[in-house]
């Protein structure tokens, strides 16, 4: 609304200034003369011509040279201004002023192409100081074309000054609007890459140039006198307008084919105007006039058509178009304008286009608002979709977690039952069938774990933690896991930890363990002879370097990248033999990445593979183990490497070492040795007796198959190979064992264990396994009943399921701890996430056994806690 008020006020002022022109203190009378060809250049004949020459036809809009003669009668001396009515688009003019005697007393000239700045800013007016008397004034006009008829007239100086104020203000305001909006839409168009904005900016800029030239701004401010600037830019702006209207109103080939094709034709015709204007300059303004008529009409008809289709933008556009079209119609058709002498046809044109530009800006703002609201709506919809997707991912994750729990529980039962059955004397064929069931359930369990991990990673739920952990113990756990999973092949495993690797580091123990266990299990799968080793050392950047090296089948170079993709396996036949779903390496690689490392492979077919990665080392301060003792190391040749690793570690701890090969002949009597480390594949009771005779403690590494059948003796520890620093640290730090000699299977005799599981099969399985270990087991399918029993009896260990109705394992553990129960409680669960482990610890539990539980795990865990 605001611009409309401004324009009306401007019009009112123009009208008022017209009134002031009525008071004239002199007479003037003029007419067009028929002076072609121009008369001779002497003032007498000019003077005579004014009175004598016949009246001419006046100015032709397509230009030429024209003459105008005026009589002026002054009763008193006057200061006057001579200017033109109707238009100031004229290339050049000359006024000749004669006195009543025919003397040429003054000659003034000007015009758009005249580089001398006029006496009045933005006007052609020239002042004349004349005494009382009669005068004749002859005006010569030379111009290639006119907008309207430039008719000379005289006005008193003061009146002229005051009556030009409003038109000049209109000029400046109009150009200011063009400049500001033109600039704005050029920037917006380029920024938003919107053709509509750019075309609209083109339309405005065309009008800006045209009006700056025709209103003498270019000449008076910048000295630019190009006359064709007053027509040619309009030819361009007309084309831009048609394109803009088509975009604004959505005129496309598909939606409004008729208007689309008419638009294309109109644009083509208008573009033809350009060369014509170049060749026939006198027609350029006429062509611009037709162009304005055409675009106004085209805009009007498109506007109406689209408004009839209930296009809201079209309603507003129509208002702008009509506001423009009415004054524009007068601008292009009037030859004379009689609002006021100083108010010219160019002012009317400026007002009409200015009005349209402002109203169109409003239309475009409205349209942008529509687009913005639409986008907001779409963003809201997208956010809603994201929320739904997130919820569905969560639901999927929950489903997976529940499913994996539900799947693990029956698997546990299958697994345990099979293990029980396998320990019975069975026919070979049944044993083979049992092996098949056993392998399948094992594979199914891996698969469930992998899919669960992958789902967690995809949902962004897998987090790595950074906490101090015992690297030696972790490596030992990896080894235990490996051993318990792989029984059939005779492949040596070596853990080679460089002595300078700290034993306690910061990081995510369980994730690192998962990666190494996975790589180790692959190495085992794809290696039939030779050995496997885990290398841990510090690299040149002081980072922790881990490698799992095997001497297996190797991987062809072209497969080195693809094996890290999910569900990718190199060779179907090997995989069929070994099982696996192709998820392991993808999980490992992502886990290593989460720990700020990168998993790589170097491998040659037939020569084995090395999977390696480095992780940032964050030390955690640990007290240095210091042993100033003499330790004897005895080894059989095949385990020399292990013996040497132990030697390095012990030297690092400050011990004196006596290293001896060949166990049979080892001469031990004279040595002042406090401890013995032995590495051999066979147990030799004579050797043990000899070593014990030196009064030293013995730590003996043997194959796992041998270790469990050996008796427990004071001062002697048997460990399953491979050697690890963890064993050494534990052994050095432990007091001398004085328990009486007893076979391992008997060691759980008189041990009272309470097992709680709501699943009767699971309970039966775990009870049977524990009983096989020699323990006395009291099974309960309900935690409340179990607590009642524990309160009244002496119990050495509790094995408890987590998910149970009524009172779950965590609550039961909290309750028992609150009641002062101090014996170990071990969780027995299918949930294996870090959070679950933390929850177990928080509730007062000491350890976690993952279902399906295996004989070896059960044995080592129970031993660990019962025989502490």
Q: Which stretch binds ligand ADP (CB under 6 A): 173-181, 546-554, 652-660, 833-841?
A: 546-554
Nearer to ligand ADP, 550 or 758 (CB): 550
Q: Which of residues 502-541 bind ligand ADP (CB under 6 A)?
A: 522-523, 526
Applying CB under 6 A, what is the total number of residues that bind ligand ADP? 22
Task: Tell me how far, at minimum, the Cβ of 568 lies from ligand ADP, in Å.
Answer: 6
Structure tokens at 577: 């033999």
Contacts of 666 (CB under 8 A, 6+ apart): 634, 660, 687, 690
Contacts of 59 (CB under 8 A, 6+ apart): 32, 66, 141, 146, 149, 150
Handedness of CA 578, 582, 583, 584 (dihedral sign): positive
Nearer to ligand ADP, 214 or 569 (CB): 569
Task: Tell me how far, at minimum, the Cβ of 524 lies from ligand ADP, in Å.
Answer: 8
Contacts of 548 (CB under 8 A, 6+ apart): 516, 519, 520, 522, 523, 532, 533, 534, 535, 610, 611, 612
Q: Which of 569, 680, 759, 813 binds ligand ADP (CB under 6 A)?
A: 569
Window 426-445: contact mask with ligand ADP (x via CB under 6 A): --------------------
How many angstroms separate the CA atoms of 306 and 251, rounded?
Answer: 9
Q: In angstroms, how far apart are the furthest CA atoms of the chain?
A: 157
Structure tokens at 659: 């290293």
Task: Tell me how far, at minimum, the Cβ of 194 lies from ligand ADP, in Å.
Answer: 50
Relative orientation angle of helices 284-308 and 312-333, to the nearest 10 degrees: 150
Nearer to ligand ADP, 262 or 581 (CB): 581
Q: Which of 585, 650, 721, 797 binds ligand ADP (CB under 6 A)?
A: 585
Task: Tell me how far, at minimum, the Cβ of 852 lies from ligand ADP, in Å.
Answer: 19
Nearer to ligand ADP, 192 or 489 (CB): 489
How many angstroms separate the CA atoms of 450 and 584, rounded?
Answer: 7
Q: Which stretch binds ligand ADP (CB under 6 A): 53-61, 288-296, 573-581, 643-651?
A: 573-581
Task: Tell me how far, at minimum, the Cβ of 550 lies from ligand ADP, in Å.
Answer: 5
| 599 touches ligand ADP (CB under 6 A) | no
Task: Tell me how far, at minimum, the Cβ of 694 lies from ligand ADP, in Å.
Answer: 43
**Are 471 and 504 contacting, i.e. CB atoms less than 8 angstroms apart?**
yes
Relative orientation angle of helices 345-422 and 157-192, to the nearest 10 degrees: 20
> What are the phi and psi torsion angles at 635 (to 5°)?
-145, 150
Measured CA distances, 714 to 688, 711, 727, 739 (Å)? 12, 10, 17, 5
Side by side, the strands of the sheet bearing 26-33 are 26-33, 64-74, 133-143, 92-99, 104-110
**Are 777 and 770 contacting, i.e. CB atoms less than 8 angstroms apart?**
yes
How many angstroms separate the CA atoms of 660 and 666, rounded?
Answer: 7
**Are 506 and 470 contacting, i.e. CB atoms less than 8 angstroms apart?**
no
| 609 touches ligand ADP (CB under 6 A) | yes
Look at the chain and count its residues. 868
Q: Which of 553, 663, 754, 845 binds ligand ADP (CB under 6 A)?
A: 553
Q: Which stretch binds ligand ADP (CB under 6 A): 224-232, 578-586, 784-792, 806-814?
A: 578-586
Nearer to ligand ADP, 563 or 862 (CB): 563
How many angstroms separate the CA atoms of 800 and 762, rounded?
Answer: 11
Q: Which stretch binds ligand ADP (CB under 6 A): 95-103, 425-433, 584-592, 715-723?
A: 584-592
**Are 222 and 242 contacting, i.e. CB atoms less than 8 angstroms apart?**
no
Contacts of 683 (CB under 8 A, 6+ apart): 700, 702, 706, 710, 718
Task: Tell me how far, at minimum, the Cβ of 609 lies from ligand ADP, in Å.
Answer: 4
Q: Which stretch binds ligand ADP (CB under 6 A): 175-183, 314-322, 581-589, 737-745?
A: 581-589
Q: Which stretch binds ligand ADP (CB under 6 A): 356-364, 436-444, 551-559, 670-678?
A: 551-559
Q: Which stretch binds ligand ADP (CB under 6 A): 27-35, 482-490, 562-570, 627-635?
A: 562-570
Nearer to ligand ADP, 248 or 563 (CB): 563
Q: Which stretch binds ligand ADP (CB under 6 A): 90-98, 432-440, 547-555, 626-634?
A: 547-555
Task: Tell me how far, at minimum, the Cβ of 518 lies from ligand ADP, in Å.
Answer: 6
Structure tokens at 107: 């000659």
Within 10 angstroms of residue 653's Cβ, the number of other Cβ atoms is 19
Q: Which stretch binds ligand ADP (CB under 6 A): 187-195, 290-298, 459-467, 582-590?
A: 582-590
Cis peptide before 50 (omega within 30 of 0): no
**Are 562 and 580 contacting, i.e. CB atoms less than 8 angstroms apart?**
no
Strand extents, DSSP E, 482-575: 492-497, 504-507, 531-538, 544-550
Nearer to ligand ADP, 551 or 813 (CB): 551
Nearer to ligand ADP, 141 or 583 (CB): 583
| 454 touches ligand ADP (CB under 6 A) | no
Nearer to ligand ADP, 118 or 554 (CB): 554
Q: Which of 63, 206, 299, 580 binds ligand ADP (CB under 6 A)?
A: 580
Q: Which of 247, 437, 575, 594 binds ligand ADP (CB under 6 A)?
A: 575
Q: Which of 327, 552, 632, 724 binds ligand ADP (CB under 6 A)?
A: 552
Window 128-167: contact mask with ligand ADP (x via CB under 6 A): ----------------------------------------
SS3 content of the chain, % helix, strand, coil (to 5): 50, 20, 30
Q: Which residues pair with 716 in a beta bridge?
A: 698, 713
| 550 touches ligand ADP (CB under 6 A) | yes
Distance of CA 67 to the CA centre of its chain: 73
Task: Tell me how far, at minimum, the Cβ of 616 lies from ligand ADP, in Å.
Answer: 25
Q: Which of residues 260-279 bind ligand ADP (CB under 6 A)?
A: none
Q: Which of residues 762-801 bind ligand ADP (CB under 6 A)?
A: none
Distance of CA 310 to the CA centre of its chain: 39
Q: Which long-range contacts (CB under 8 A, 24 or more apart) does 597-605 make?
A: 599/515, 599/564, 601/555, 601/560, 601/563, 603/554, 603/555, 603/560, 604/554, 605/553, 605/554, 605/555, 605/556
| 555 touches ligand ADP (CB under 6 A) | yes
Nearer to ligand ADP, 99 or 559 (CB): 559
Q: Which of 327, 584, 696, 852 binds ligand ADP (CB under 6 A)?
A: 584
Task: Tell me how far, at minimum, the Cβ of 513 lies from ligand ADP, in Å.
Answer: 16
Task: Tell me how far, at minimum, the Cβ of 455 lies from ligand ADP, in Å.
Answer: 16
Give the footprint of ligand ADP on this chain (CB under 6 A): 522-523, 526, 550, 552-555, 563, 568-571, 575, 580-586, 609
């Amino acid at each position: 609304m605001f611009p409309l008020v401004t324009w009306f006020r401007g019009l009112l002022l123009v009208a008022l200034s017209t009134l002031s022109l009525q008071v004239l203190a002199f007479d003037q009378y003029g007419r067009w003369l028929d002076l072609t060809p121009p008369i001779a250049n002497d003032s007498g004949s000019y003077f005579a011509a004014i009175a004598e020459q016949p009246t001419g036809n006046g100015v032709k809009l397509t230009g030429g040279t024209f003459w105008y003669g005026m009589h002026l009668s002054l009763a008193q001396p006057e200061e006057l201004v001579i200017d033109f009515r109707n238009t100031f688009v004229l290339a050049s003019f000359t006024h000749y002023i004669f006195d009543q005697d025919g003397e040429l007393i003054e000659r003034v000239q000007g015009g758009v192409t005249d580089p001398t700045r006029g006496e009045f800013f933005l006007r052609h007016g020239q002042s004349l100081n004349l005494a009382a008397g009669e005068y004749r004034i002859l005006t010569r006009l030379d111009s290639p074309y006119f907008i309207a008829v430039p008719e000379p007239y005289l006005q008193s100086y003061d009146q002229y000054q005051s009556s030009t104020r409003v038109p000049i203000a209109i000029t400046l305001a109009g150009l200011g609007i063009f400049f500001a909006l033109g600039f704005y839409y050029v920037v917006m168009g380029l920024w938003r890459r919107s053709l509509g904005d750019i075309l609209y900016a083109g339309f405005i800029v065309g009008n800006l140039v045209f009006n700056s030239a025709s209103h003498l701004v270019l000449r008076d401010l910048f000295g630019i006198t190009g006359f064709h600037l007053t027509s040619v830019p309009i030819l361009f702006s007309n084309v831009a307008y048609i394109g803009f209207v088509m975009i604004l109103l959505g005129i496309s080939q598909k939606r409004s084919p008729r208007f689309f094709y008419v638009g294309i034709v109109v644009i083509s015709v208008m573009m033809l105007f350009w060369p014509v204007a170049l060749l026939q300059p006198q027609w350029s303004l006429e062509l611009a006039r037709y162009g304005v008529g055409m675009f106004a009409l085209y805009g009007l008809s498109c506007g109406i058509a689209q408004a009839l289709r209930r296009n809201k933008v079209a309603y507003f556009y129509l208002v702008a178009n009509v506001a423009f079209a009415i004054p524009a119609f007068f601008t292009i058709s009037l030859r004379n304008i009689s609002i006021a002498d100083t108010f010219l046809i160019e002012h009317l044109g400026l007002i009409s286009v200015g009005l349209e530009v402002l109203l169109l800006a409003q239309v475009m703002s409205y349209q942008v608002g529509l687009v913005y609201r639409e986008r907001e709506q779409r963003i809201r919809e997208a956010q809603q979709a994201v929320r739904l997707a997130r919820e569905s991912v969560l639901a999927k994750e929950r489903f997976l977690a529940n499913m994996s729990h539900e799947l693990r529980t029956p698997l546990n039962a299958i697994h345990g039952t099979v293990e029980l059955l396998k320990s019975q004397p069975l026919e070979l064929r049944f044993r083979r069938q049992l092996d098949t069931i056993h392998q399948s359930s094992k594979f199914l369990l891996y698969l469930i774990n992998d899919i669960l991990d992958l789902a967690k990673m995809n949902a962004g739920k897998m987090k790595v933690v950074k906490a101090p952990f015992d690297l030696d113990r972790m490596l030992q756990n990896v080894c235990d896991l490996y051993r318990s999973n792989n029984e059939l092949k005779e492949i040596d495993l070596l853990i080679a930890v460089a002595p300078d690797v700290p034993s306690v580091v910061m990081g995510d123990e369980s994730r690192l363990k998962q990666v190494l266990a996975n790589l180790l299990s692959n190495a085992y799968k794809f290696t039939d002879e030779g050995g496997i080793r885990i290398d841990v050392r510090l690299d040149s950047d002081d980072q922790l370097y881990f490698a799992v090296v095997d001497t297996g089948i190797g991987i062809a170079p072209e497969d080195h990248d693809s094996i890290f993709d999910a569900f990718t396996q190199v060779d179907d036949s090997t995989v069929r033999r070994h099982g696996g779903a192709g998820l392991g390496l993808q999980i490992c690689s992502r886990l290593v990445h989460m720990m700020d490392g990168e998993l790589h492979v170097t491998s040659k077919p037939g020569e084995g593979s090395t999977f390696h990665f480095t992780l940032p080392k964050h030390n955690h301060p640990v007290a240095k183990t210091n042993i100033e003792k003499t330790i004897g190391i005895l080894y059989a040749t095949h385990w020399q490497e292990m013996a040497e690793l132990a030697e390095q570690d012990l030297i690092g701890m400050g011990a004196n070492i006596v290293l001896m090969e060949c166990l049979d002949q080892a001469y031990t009597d004279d040595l002042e040795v406090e401890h013995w480390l032995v590495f051999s594949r066979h147990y030799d009771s004579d050797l043990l007796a000899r070593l014990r005779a030196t009064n030293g403690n013995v730590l003996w590494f043997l194959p796992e198959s041998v270790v469990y059948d050996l008796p427990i003796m004071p001062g002697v520890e048997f460990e399953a190979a491979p050697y690890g620093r963890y064993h050494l640290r534990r052994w050095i730090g432990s007091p001398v064992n004085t328990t009486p000699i007893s076979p391992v299977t008997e060691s759980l005799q008189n041990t009272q264990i309470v097992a709680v599981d709501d699943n009767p099969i699971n309970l039966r399985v775990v009870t049977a396994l524990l009983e096989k270990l020699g323990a006395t087991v009291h099974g309960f399918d309900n935690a409340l009943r179990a607590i009642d029993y524990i309160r009244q009896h002496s119990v050495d260990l509790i094995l408890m399921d987590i998910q149970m109705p009524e009172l779950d394992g965590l609550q039961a553990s909290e309750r028992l701890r609150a009641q002062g129960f101090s014996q170990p409680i071990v969780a027995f669960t299918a949930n294996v996430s870090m959070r679950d482990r933390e929850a177990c610890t928080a509730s007062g539990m000491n350890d976690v056994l993952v279902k399906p539980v295996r004989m070896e795990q059960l044995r080592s865990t129970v031993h660990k806690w019962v025989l502490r």
